[in-house]
Structure 1
C-alpha cells in the first residue's frame, strides 16, 4: 500500500482466468478501510466493476494492480505471468 502525502493507495491481487481475482472481497475490504483512514473517496462497487472490465476475456494468469487516488479515481494495471 502507498499512503499519505497525496499519494495513491495500492492493492495488488492475484488473477486466474478460471477463478477470477483471488480473495476479491478481502482486497476490497482492506482498500475500503485504508481509504477511510486516509480520507480518500472509495466506491467499492465501481472498483469491482473496473476490475471485472480489466480482466474480462483474459486467458493468462497474472497480477491486477489497483491504484486509488484521494479523489476516488481508480486505475487498474494487469500484468500477466509468463
Structure 2
C-alpha cells in the first residue's frame, strides 16, 4: 500500500519596516489562514503573529520575512535584509 504524497508547504513573504513592523501583517496572516484551511493544514494565527514579531524584534533595517507552514502546523521563519 502506497503512502499519499506529502503536501507541499505553504509560504508567504512579507515586508518588514523597522518603524512600522511587518506591512499588512493581519492581511497576510488572514490570507495564509484561508490557504491553510483550503489545503487542510493546521494553522495557529496567534502563534504565527507572535513568532513573526519575535523574529523581527530589534531589527533596525528593512527586511523581508518569509513564513513557511507545513501541513502539521509547524512553522519556520526566515528574515533577510531587503
TM-score by length of 2: 0.91
Q: Which runs of 4+ in 1 moved over 4 A?
A: none
Output the aligned Cα RMSD. Answer: 1.2
**Unaligned runs of at least 5 residues, structure 1:** none
> How far has the Cα of 1:49 moved from its partner?
0.5
Contiguous gaps of at least 5 residues in structure 2: 1-5
Give the alignment of 1:10-21 within 5 angstroms.
10-21=11-22
- When Rg is computed on C-alpha atoms for both structures, the one with the higher figure is 2
Per the TM alignment, residue 6 of structure 1 is displaced from its structure 2 partner at its CA by 1.2
- Structure 1 residue 50: Cα displacement: 0.3
What's the counterpart of residue 31 of structure 2? 30
Whole-angstrom distance in 2 between the partners of 1:50 and 1:61: 18
TM-score calculated relative to the size of structure 1 = 0.91
